[in-house]
Amino acid sequence: MKKTSEAVIEIAQKMVQGLRKLKFSEPVHTVYNPLEYAWPAHEQYLERFATGPKRVLFLGMNPGPWGMAQTGVPFGEIQAVRDFLKIDAKIGKPLREHPKRPIEGLGCSRSEVSGRRMWGLFQERFGTPKAFFAEHFVANYCPLVFMDEGARNLTPDKLPAREMSPLSEHCDRHLTELIRILEPRFLVGVGQFAEECLRRVCKRAEVVPGDGVGAKGATILRILHPSPASPAANRGWSTAVEKTLVEQGIWGEKRPKRA
């Protein structure tokens, strides 16, 4: 029987193969897939942390230019990936690199606010990756980065339906398999788009996460997206998210003791 991490790596590789066939038109000018040029780092992330069933799956939308685009890790803010998660794999370059969005890997001097907030909260509450990943995992719905000619970020929900449909087919299939492998009882969308993806996939595929008590009633919910573009996120994101997760019974009111 395959280890959990091996199964997760396999479905990620299948998604990468499928996404290679897709074409995108204006306003999309440049597309990055960090699961290709940063695959060693992403594989390291999966090998270390996608181990065994997870009680909670956090799902984001797609990579940010200074986060996963640089590191290959979901919400992959440089310092968090390098110093907290201890990812040290070599990161390459996309085949077509936008001059305004260079890939510098773990040597990038920019810091992505969303990733800093996400991993900062997890580190503050759990202390170590081992303690956090014992019951949690973090993934993105779509691994692709879309930019217009001026290098402005384009989120997947802004793509025309004719291009979003085949993209969703590959991403939905991957998410379905990820849920089946990890068996989470709580599916947490980081923002509205991710929550909608979780609900759609679970409804269409009749995904039943888990095998034990409550398996058929997996809870799907949303937390505030940590983007600095959100005024609400800038007014105490960590406090708001921790409150939501405690109220939903995902986290306890008291923070766990550090090992």
Q: How many CA atoms lie within 13 A of 113 on its CB side?
A: 11
Instruction: Report how far Cα 158 is from the mean position of its chain's Cα atoms.
Output: 19
Determine contact, residues 207/78, Cβ cutoff 8 Å. Answer: no
Q: What is the pLDDT of residue 217?
A: 63
Q: How many CA atoms lie within 13 A of 78 on its CB side?
A: 14
Q: What is the pLDDT of residue 253?
A: 83
User: Side by side, which strands form the sheet with 30-32?
Assistant: 30-32, 145-147, 153-154
Per-domain boundaries in the chain: 4-247
Q: What is the pLDDT of residue 258?
A: 63
Q: Residue 197: CB partners within 8 Å, gap ≥ 6?
A: 59, 141, 171, 172, 175, 189
Digitized pLDDT (tens) for each residue of the chain, 259 residues in all: 679 999 999 999 999 999 999 999 999 999 999 999 999 999 999 999 999 999 999 999 999 999 999 999 999 999 999 999 999 999 999 999 999 999 999 999 999 999 999 999 999 999 999 999 999 999 999 999 999 999 999 999 999 999 999 999 999 999 999 999 999 999 999 999 999 999 999 988 665 554 433 345 689 999 999 999 899 999 999 999 999 999 999 999 877 766 5
Q: What is the pLDDT of residue 215?
A: 40
Gap between the Cα atoms of 215 and 6, Å rounded: 23
Question: 175-208 burial, b if ≥16 CB within 10 A, otherwise e?
Answer: bbbbbebbbbbbbbbbbebbbebbeebbeeeebe
Gap between the Cα atoms of 13 and 36, Å rounded: 9
- Give the CATH class of 4-247: alpha beta
Q: What is the pLDDT of residue 206?
A: 65
Q: What is the pLDDT of residue 212?
A: 35
Determine contact, residues 77/112, Cβ cutoff 8 Å. Answer: yes
